[in-house]
A and B are shown apart, each in its own frame.
Chain A
Amino acid sequence: MLIRYSIRRALETIPTLFIISVIVFSLVLLIPGDRVLVMLGYSGGDIADVISPEVYKAMEIRLGVHDPIPVQYMRWLSRALQGDLGTSALHSIPVIEIILGRLPATLYLAFASIILGAVIAIPLGVAAAVRQDTWVDKLANGVVLFGLVTPGFWVALMLVLLFGVYLGWLPTIGYSAPQDDFVEFVRHITLPAVVLGLDFAANVIRFIRTDFLEQMREDYVRTARAKGLSERVVIWKHIFKNSMLATVTVLGFDISRLLGGSTVIETLFAYPGISFLLIQSIFNRDFATVQGVVLFLALLVIFMNYLADILYALLNPRIRYE
C-alpha cells in the first residue's frame, strides 16, 4: 500500500541524510583559521577590540572545539535536529528563523518556474514526438539546444536588457510578497521564473519527447487504435498517462538542479530567497548562517526528491501494489 511504501522510502533516505549531514558539518572544518572566531563572524582587526573574552569563551564551549571531532559532530547534529542551527553573527537572530523567513520566496520561485516550464514543455514535447520532423519538432529541438548551451544568468541578463532596460515592462530587482501586493509579486517573479523555467523546460522537452516516442511503439497503443479511438484520445488519454510518469521523474531530478541553480538567479535579481541568503551570508562571513542554509537546502532537495518519488508511486499502479 501507498503508506507502507512511503514509510519505506522515508527510511531509505536516512543513510543519505546522514552522509549529507557529515559533509555539511565537515565544511566548516575546512575553513582556515580559528573556528571560534570564524563562527563569531570575526573578519579581521585586533581581536581584543572586537570580541570580548566572555563571548569568545561562550562560543568555544558551545562548539566544544577541544573535543574529538565525532563528539563535536554529534553535538552539532543533535542541536540541528531540534532546530537549533546557531545564531546569525550578523543579525543576532536564530539562523533557523532567518531561513524560514526566506523560505516562502524560494518556494514561490521554484513552483512558478516548474509550472511555467511544464506549460511550455509538455505540449511542445508531445507535439514534437507526434509530429516528428516537422517544424514543431525543429522548434522543440531549438528550445532544448538553447536551454542546454546558454548559461542561465546570461539569459537573465539579456532578458533584463530587453524587458527591464529597453522596454521597461518588468522590474529587475526586488520582491513583493503575494499577500501584500499580488500584482507586484507577479511582476517581480516573472523574469527569474522565466529564466529558471526555460532551463527546466529544456530538460522536460527532451525527456518527454524521447519517452513519448518509445511509448508510441508499445503494443497497447495498437490495441487502442484497434478499438477505433480517435488519435487525440490515443495520444492524450492512453499514451500521455504513461508518459506523465516520466515527466514526474524528470521533475524529481530537476528540483535538485533548480534549487541549486537558483542561487545565481536569485542573486542577480536580488530576489530574497534562501539561495540569495546563502551568498549574502558568505560575503558577510556569517558562517553559522552559511552552514545552516547549506544543510537546510540539501535537506529540502532530498525532501522534494522524496515527494516526487511518492507522486510517482501514486501515479504508477505497479509500484504501489508491490
Chain B
Amino acid sequence: MAILDVRNLTVDFQLDDGGTLRAVDGTSFTIDTGEVLGLVGESGSGKSVTALSIMRLLDSQAEITAGQILFDGEDLAEKSEAEMRTIRGRRIGMIFQEPMTSLNPAYTVGDQVSEVFRHHLHMGFGESKARAIEMLQRVKIPRAKETYGKFPHEFSGGMRQRVMIAIALACGPDLLIADEPTTALDVTIQAQVLSVIQDLQHDMGLALLFISHDLEVVAQLCDKVAVMYGARIMEISESTELFTSPRHPYTDGLLRSIPRRGQPLTPIAGTIFDLRTPPDGCRFHPRCPYAEDRCRRETPVLRVLEPAAANADTNDRRQAACHFPLPGTSGAGERKA
C-alpha cells in the first residue's frame, strides 16, 4: 500500500535574469507503508527539492508546475497552505542536513519538542513536557529530563540531530523525510544517529524517504533506492540488486567511483551539465561510456524492466531510464553484444 505516490513531479525555479531552471523534471516514485526508499544523487540532482516539494516548503521562486504528490490518496500539490500545516509535523515529519543551525537558538530544546505536542495534539504544558521527555529518551538522549531545559548550543551536532528526529516523530507521522541527516556529522556519530533512525523506523512502522549522496549508508538502511541525475530519476531498484547489479550506466559509474583500497580511482568522466541548459535526449549521454546515437536524440523514459522476482508486485520491479540498460544479474539486457 503506497503511502506516498509521486507522479511526474516537475518543479521550476524562477531565476533573477528571468529564465527558468527545472530542478525536478517529471520524477515518479512510490513508497509503501513501512518501506524505506533511498534517494541518491550528486549535488544539484534535485533530491532536496523533491523532498521540500512533498512538504511544500519551497521558496517563493519555486513552483510545482506539473505532477501529483499523492499522500495517502490525497494530492499534496493541490492543498492550501492551511491544509499543509495540519500535515506538516503531524503526518509527515522532516529532518534536515544542518543540525547545528536547524534548532532555534533562543529556546530550550525541550520547548521546541513539546511545542509540537501542544500545537498538533493540543496538549497542556505539563503533558506535553512529559511526552517531550519521553521522546527525547526514545532518541537515546542521555538524561532527558535535564536536557529538556538546555539550549541547543550546549549540544553537539549528533545530539541536535537526535532532537530534530524527536521533533519530527513526536506526533507519530506516517512518513519521515530525512534530507541528508548525517552528511554534516562525523563518521562515528553518523552511525549512532542512523541507528536511532533505523530503530524508530522499525518500531513505528514509518515510511521513510532517506536522501543521501552516501551510497554505503543507503545500502544499509534502505529497501529500495532511486538514483537521480540532473533533475531526473535514472533508476529505481530494490536495494541489494542496485548495488550488486546496477542497470543504469550512471548508477554503475557511481558505484565504481567509490574509492576502494588497493584499486585505482575511477571517477565518472566529465562534469554535470548546467541545469539551465540540459542536453537533449538522455541527460547522461555526454558522460556515458555506452552512449549511442539514439541516446542523443531520444529521451529515455523511466520504465519497468523485467521483474526482479516472478510473482513481484508491479511497484517492485526494477525501473531504469535508459535505452540500453546494463545486463544485470538476469543477463537479459537489451545491450547489443
Q: Which residues of A contact B (CB under 8 A)?
A: 218-220, 222-230, 233, 238, 241-242, 245, 315-318, 321
Q: How far is the CB of A316 from chain B (nearest CB, A)?
A: 8
Known: A228-B120, A241-B107, A317-B151. A220 touches B102 (CB 8 A): yes
**Given the complex of chains A and B, what is the CA–CA distance between A316 and B103 in angstroms?**
15
Contact of B106 among A229, A233, A241 (CB under 8 A): A241
User: CB distance A321 to B86 under 8 Å?
Assistant: no
21 interchain pairs (CB within 8 A)?
A219-B98, A220-B101, A220-B103, A220-B105, A223-B102, A225-B88, A226-B57, A226-B89, A226-B93, A227-B88, A228-B84, A228-B88, A228-B90, A233-B119, A238-B104, A245-B106, A315-B106, A316-B106, A317-B105, A317-B106, A317-B151
Contact of B96 among A222, A230, A318 (CB under 8 A): A222
Q: How far is the CB of B153 from chain A (nearest CB, A)?
A: 5
User: CB distance B57 to A227 under 8 Å?
Assistant: no
Contact of A222 among B89, B102, B106 (CB under 8 A): B102
**Given the complex of chains A and B, what is the CA–CA distance between A238 and B96 in angstroms?**
18
Q: Which residues of B contact A233 (CB under 8 A)?
A: 119
**Given the complex of chains A and B, what is the CA–CA distance between A317 and B106 in angstroms?**
7
Contact of B105 among A224, A227, A228, A318 (CB under 8 A): A318
Q: How far is the CB of B53 from chain A (nearest CB, A)?
A: 13
**Given the complex of chains A and B, what is the CA–CA distance between A321 and B152 in angstroms?**
12
Which residue of chain B has its CB nearest to the CB of A322?
B153
Q: Which residues of A contact B90 (CB under 8 A)?
A: 228
Known: A226-B55, A229-B119, A321-B154. A218 touches B89 (CB 8 A): no
**Given the complex of chains A and B, what is the CA–CA distance between A1 and B90 in angstroms?**
38
**Given the complex of chains A and B, what is the CA–CA distance between A229 and B119 in angstroms?**
7
**Given the complex of chains A and B, what is the CA–CA distance between A138 and B87 in angstroms?**
35
User: CB distance B89 to A228 under 8 Å?
Assistant: yes
Residue among B88, B98, B106 with the highest chain A CB neighbour number at 10 A:
B106
Known: A317-B153, A318-B153. A223 touches B96 (CB 8 A): yes
Q: Which residues of B contact A241 (CB under 8 A)?
A: 104, 106-107
User: CB distance B85 to A223 under 8 Å?
Assistant: no
**Given the complex of chains A and B, what is the CA–CA distance between A222 and B101 in angstroms?**
10
Q: A219-B96, A226-B88, A229-B119 are in contact. List 17 more A-B contacts (CB 8 A).
A: A218-B101, A219-B102, A220-B102, A223-B104, A223-B164, A223-B167, A227-B88, A227-B89, A227-B119, A228-B86, A228-B87, A233-B119, A238-B104, A242-B104, A316-B106, A318-B151, A321-B151
Q: How far is the CB of A163 from chain B (nearest CB, A)?
A: 41
Q: Which residues of B contact A (CB under 8 A)?
A: 55, 57, 84-90, 93-94, 96, 98, 101-107, 115-116, 119-120, 151, 153-154, 164, 167-168
User: CB distance A225 to B57 under 8 Å?
Assistant: yes
Which residue of chain B has its CB nearest to the CB of A233?
B119
**Given the complex of chains A and B, what is the CA–CA distance between A227 and B57 in angstroms?**
11
User: CB distance B85 to A230 under 8 Å?
Assistant: yes
Q: Which residues of B contact A242 (CB under 8 A)?
A: 104-106
Q: Which residues of A contact B102 (CB under 8 A)?
A: 219-220, 222-223
**Given the complex of chains A and B, what is the CA–CA distance between A219 and B105 in angstroms?**
11
**Given the complex of chains A and B, what is the CA–CA distance between A318 and B152 in angstroms?**
9
Q: How far is the CB of A46 from chain B (nearest CB, A)?
A: 69
Q: Which residues of A contact B96 (CB under 8 A)?
A: 219, 222-223, 226
**Given the complex of chains A and B, what is the CA–CA distance between A222 and B106 in angstroms?**
15
Q: Which residues of A contact B164 (CB under 8 A)?
A: 223
User: CB distance B101 to A228 under 8 Å?
Assistant: no
Q: Which residues of A contact B115 (CB under 8 A)?
A: 227, 229
Q: How far is the CB of B128 from chain A (nearest CB, A)?
A: 13
Which residue of chain A has its CB nearest to the CB of B52?
A222
Known: A218-B101, A220-B104. A227 touches B116 (CB 8 A): yes
Which residue of chain B has its CB nearest to the CB of A220?
B104
Q: How far is the CB of B233 from chain A (nearest CB, A)?
A: 24
**Given the complex of chains A and B, what is the CA–CA distance between A317 and B105 in angstroms?**
8
Contact of A219 among B101, B116, B168 (CB under 8 A): B101
